[in-house]
A and B are shown apart, each in its own frame.
Chain A
Amino acid sequence: GAVVSQHPSWVICKSGTSVKIECRSLDFQATTMFWYRQFPKQSLMLMATSNEGSKATYEQGVEKDKFLINHASLTLSTLTVTSAHPEDSSFYICSANRILGNTEAFFGQGTRLTVV
């Protein structure tokens, strides 16, 4: 199956700093990538849809100025958590749809963010 890679797998940062998470589709091109957040013992919650070459679409309740998304190429989307606070500590996961071919979405392995 297709491979989606996230980096880093885990990160610890100080409150008030910013953290960038990368999501790459390694062997296919993706015009659309999605970002999710998952708190302990909960399901994945869609945060935003990232479209290559255009602005991301955010779900209701997700602050676009806090969670900056950039999708500058067909294989890379980044999520930057700005001025992180402890309540932003979570598991962040991206997924990507292939432009051509089958219709399944492929997920990265996730990034565990801990803000101290």
Chain B
Amino acid sequence: DAKTTQPTSMDCAEGRAANLPCNHSTISGNEYVYWYRQIHSQGPQYIIHGLKNNETNEMASLIITEDRKSSTLILPHATLRDTAVYYCIVRAAGTALIFGKGTTLSVSS
């Protein structure tokens, strides 16, 4: 079973920041927090991952709480192309990614 809890769906206006929350209260010390997204009928796309520090790349920022029990993925300026299902996954390095139901993000103009 997935070890994360995410809202089923979220809406965001184009150009605004999209903040996607994730709870992972049972995360272990050696597990990373990963975010992937899947656009319809495509393979999942890697977004970002982190262990305990906040991370930022060209796609998004990842904010992890100090106790590591939750995190937030931030898309700073959402576009219509960011409409997708976003998956928050915790896993130890090298192990399989176990997908939950994810959050369906709908970006509208």
Interface residues of B (CB under 8 A from A): 32, 34, 36, 38, 41-46, 49, 87, 93-94, 96-102
Contacts and interface: CB of A to CB of B under 8 A. Distances in A.
Interface residues of A, number: 24
B94 A97 contact: yes
A1 B32 CA distance: 19
A13 interface: no
Given A43-B100, A43-B101, A112 B44 contact: no
B45 A107 contact: yes
A104 B46 contact: yes
A46 B98 contact: yes
Interface of A: 1, 4, 6, 32, 34, 36, 43-46, 49, 91, 93, 95, 97, 103-110, 112
B5 to A, nearest CB: 14
A6 B41 CA distance: 14
6 contacts: A43-B100, A95-B44, A105-B97, A107-B43, A107-B45, A110-B43
